[in-house]
Structure 1
Amino acid sequence: MAIRRDALAARREVLGFTQETLAHQLGVELSTIGRWERGTLTPQPWRRPDLAKVLKLSLEELDGLLSAPRTVASSSLVTRREVMVDAALLTSAVMADQVTGTSSDHSPQDVRQKLPGSRVTVTSASALVTDLHQAYQAARYGDVARRLPAVTTAVDALIAEGFASERRKALGLQCSAAVAAAKLATKAGDAEAGWQAAEQARVAAEAAEDIAGRAAAAYQRACALLRAGRGEDAEQVAVSAAMSMRGSDPQSLTWRGALTLISAIIAARRNDAAEAGDRLDHAEGLARLLGTDGNIGWTAFGPTNVLIHRVSVAVALNDPNSALATAERLDVTALPVGLNGRQAQFHLDSAWAHAQLGEDPQAVIHLLDTERVAPELVRANPNARALIQDLLARERRRAVPGLRGLAVRVGVAA
């Protein structure tokens, strides 16, 4: 029975190839590419070096994409683990440079050697993944980058070496770790690595028959596509995934709401205020049904997060007055403890809105609040740095106290 090679198709798409353009590049028939991706035909060995080169893969990585994910799970895990560790380490180096001023000089082999020698359990792996997501939501991105390779390797080892009865739980953890990797890569501006990690999450979720995991993977795919400038594709992924979550249980409401919020942001970025507003209203209704500011699936979805997204949508629509009017209705302290990244986004959006209206002192206050709750975000976020530079260019020191010191700490002024 043929097994679709969705990861091969995803790799082609993230590099911008259609089946037709890839066929032209390789000098093969269009139908050949389709058969490779459907799993009804395997590229001949003499074709593989050219295919790997065009897809920017090693031959081992290509072999991993060509292998059937379910029938060769044990042997393919080593390749998948190595690829994920390599990608995570590259992201780690980028993020460490951006947010901590340090560099990562560890090789994947170094990381594997540092793993504990005792057998990984579902409980211990779950704790590692939980810590990873908590660190991300606390906006400790450098910490996440340093931990990610070891966590990914530990979870993959659990699948390869753990009990068969625990396989579904282990696959769920693999999905969750890959989601964290996707978040970090997208945050670092690496859309391709974000897409690849989201695809890893999708494959694991499907193997585990995990509906929430598939929704989480779809959310990250949408984020990566949006980061890559492919808003139409991102919107299609988010809307389709939201429609597939039909239940009325808290988990279904949460994921439908989270996916609706990202689709509202996408609509705003293409300047469709009406559609963005409709989606925000729909998400608000789902949040009311949920009835609380929760954090199911590390989404932070709830009434307060919907309002935060209303502010972000107004910013995307270049409407500072609406952004601030919504911000006045917000109490970010209502969010669950530890959601520093969400709080920081609210303050950063508010700072932009005040700056657009020439209210520089208020803008600086919000920037200082952003730094207080998420200092790494201010240093790494290009929008935050650009806003500080703009404020600095029109600085009146008596009217804008604190701006010069913030600029120095962030590194945009000496």
Structure 2
Amino acid sequence: MAIRRDALAARREALGFTQETLAQALGVELSTTGRWERGTLTPQPWRRPDLAKLLKVSLDELDILLNPPQTMAAGRSSATRREVMVDAALLAGLIASEHMLGTHSEEPLRQQATLVSASAGVTDLHRKYQAARYGDVARRLPEVNAAVDALVAGGPARQRREALGLQCSVAIVAAKLATKAGDGEAGWAAAERAREAAESAEDTFGLAAAAYQRACALLRAGDSENAEQIAVSAAAGLRGQDPQSATWRGALTLISSVIAARRNDFAAARERLDHADELARWLGADDNIGWTAFGPTNVLIHRTSVAVALNDPRGTLATAEQLDITALPVGLNGRQAQFHLDSAWAHAQLVEDPQAVIHLLETERVAPELVRANPNARSLIEDLLARERRRDVPALRGLALRTGVAA
């Protein structure tokens, strides 16, 4: 039976590669990298030096990532996917340290293993956030943050840049979580920590991610002018002709389009959406580089959000009809929920309450924590309750009770 190589996938994601971009760098088919991670195909020996170089591991470490012990990967049926990932990553780190250091001293081995497992921990936070499991992220964040900070402060000097990259990435999660909770000030502070770590690591895309979160935090705090300036300036600074540059330019352009719409500048919003669409089409697929979920489907989701900001319910629904929400990568529950929430708003504005409730129920299904915490969702449910016709929308009352809108 094939054994999934979850630690191999975690290592790839921690370094900012998607399966597609890793395949491109190696000159192999996209399906090949996916089969490597599912355990149905093993890289040929002549591929392994290049793969190890891209993943920044030794050949010994790569061998463990490709051949996880069955007691870890398959024999522990009660283990979570994250536990399997961390176990395999820890063992890979131990072997790599012994190979490089020629010693079995416990302290160097512990440090090397901690760096690899911390990467898996940060990856796990991002996945949970995108799955709209905000409570899990909040509980896990302090532990992962402390581990990463310890690596930056006391880890091996040769690994400092990678540790700083992790520090930037975990601060991005903290910024997202704070902004999502409505705390723009805390979101800004976390985004600033991300920026400082990215500057120390000389990480161009970490700086782009920090700029995006700084803009989001300012927007949440009501400072749309400075938010727009940061997003536009950061996008203009990314001139590379590669998937990561295009992705971050696109993501920053999308947030700036929403900001333009909120100040009722339809022309600027449309121009930016069109530019983001060009970048997404150049990429050619819905992807998740840098945890952005940027791609053609995400551009359409932002078109619906721009129509909402412009108070255009018919435009919102016209765009929504073009969307195949299933085209998004698996696990992007938050993005799916935003699509359903925007659609629910549009139907409510047109007094199409049954359709609005259907979309709210879909929002609850894919992201129950979001619909309970999102002030726009709660406000929408309150508005629908104010004109409730139980015969037409029998599910509305139960939804209101579950989300705490009705007692």
Q: Given residue 366 of structure 1, which amino acid in structure 2 is its aligned partner?
A: H
TM-score between the two structures when normalised by the length of structure 1:
0.71
Q: Counterparts of 2:199 and 2:405 in 1: how far apart (Å)?
A: 45
Q: Counterparts of 1:127 and 1:164 in 2: how far apart (Å)?
A: 20
Asked if 1:209 is matched to 2:202, the reply is yes
Q: Which among 358, 362, 385 is matched to residue 365 of structure 1? A: 358
Quote the residue 1:314 is aligned against.
Answer: 307
Q: Counterparts of 1:248 and 1:346 in 2: how far apart (Å)?
A: 30
Q: Which among 264, 269, 282 is matched to residue 276 of structure 1? A: 269
Q: Counterparts of 2:310 and 2:332 in 1: how far apart (Å)?
A: 25
Quote the residue 1:229 is aligned against.
Answer: 222
Answer yes or no: is the 8 Å Cα contact 1:175–1:213 preserved in 2.
Answer: yes
Asked if 1:381 is matched to 2:338, the reply is no
Q: Given residue 213 of structure 1, which amino acid in structure 2 is its aligned partner?
A: G
Quote the residue 2:325 is aligned against.
Answer: 332
Q: Given residue 181 of structure 2, which amino acid in structure 1 is its aligned partner?
A: A
Q: Counterparts of 1:369 and 1:118 in 2: how far apart (Å)?
A: 45
1:25-44 map, 5 Å: none
Quote the residue 1:323 is aligned against.
Answer: 316
Q: Given residue 360 of structure 1, which amino acid in structure 2 is its aligned partner?
A: D
Quote the residue 1:343 is aligned against.
Answer: 336
Asked if 1:184 is matched to 2:177, the reply is yes
Q: Counterparts of 1:121 and 1:251 in 2: how far apart (Å)?
A: 27
Aligned-residue offset at 1:118: 5.3
Asked if 1:139 is matched to 2:137, the reply is no
Q: Given residue 359 of structure 2, which amino acid in structure 1 is its aligned partner?
A: H
Q: Counterparts of 1:171 and 1:379 in 2: how far apart (Å)?
A: 34
Deviations 1:318-359 (A, max 9, x none): 000000000000011100000000000000000000000000
Quote the residue 2:117 is aligned against.
Answer: 124
Q: Counterparts of 2:222 and 2:375 in 1: how far apart (Å)?
A: 16
* Count of matched residue positions in the alignment of Structure 1 and Structure 2: 298
Aligned-residue offset at 1:161: 1.9
Asked if 1:407 is matched to 2:396, the reply is no
Quote the residue 1:355 is aligned against.
Answer: 348
Q: Which among 239, 251, 257 is matched to residue 232 of structure 2? A: 239
SS in 2 for 1:166: helix
Q: Counterparts of 1:242 and 1:181 in 2: how far apart (Å)?
A: 22
Answer yes or no: is the 8 Å Cα contact 1:182–1:197 preserved in 2.
Answer: yes
SS in 2 for 1:121: helix
Quote the residue 2:189 is aligned against.
Answer: 196
Asked if 1:173 is matched to 2:161, the reply is no
Q: Counterparts of 2:193 and 2:379 in 1: how far apart (Å)?
A: 34
Deviations 1:110-165 (A, max 9, x none): xxxxxxx9546221010000000000000000111111111110001111221111
Q: Counterparts of 2:381 and 2:185 in 1: how far apart (Å)?
A: 29
Quote the residue 2:296 is aligned against.
Answer: 303
Answer yes or no: is the 8 Å Cα contact 1:378–1:384 preserved in 2.
Answer: yes
Quote the residue 2:155 is aligned against.
Answer: 162
Q: Counterparts of 1:395 and 1:189 in 2: how far apart (Å)?
A: 28
Superposed CA RMSD:
1.0
Q: Counterparts of 1:292 and 1:220 in 2: how far apart (Å)?
A: 24
Aligned-residue offset at 1:296: 0.4
Q: Which among 265, 287, 312 is matched to residue 294 of structure 1? A: 287
Q: Which runs of 4+ in 1 moved over 6 A?
A: none
Q: Counterparts of 1:379 and 1:155 in 2: how far apart (Å)?
A: 31
Q: Counterparts of 1:362 and 1:118 in 2: how far apart (Å)?
A: 55
Q: Counterparts of 2:163 and 2:246 in 1: how far apart (Å)?
A: 25
Q: Counterparts of 1:285 and 1:122 in 2: how far apart (Å)?
A: 38
Q: Counterparts of 1:189 and 1:354 in 2: how far apart (Å)?
A: 25
TM-score between the two structures when normalised by the length of structure 2:
0.72
Answer yes or no: is the 8 Å Cα contact 1:121–1:162 preserved in 2.
Answer: no
Aligned-residue offset at 1:401: 2.3
Q: Given residue 121 of structure 1, which amino acid in structure 2 is its aligned partner?
A: T
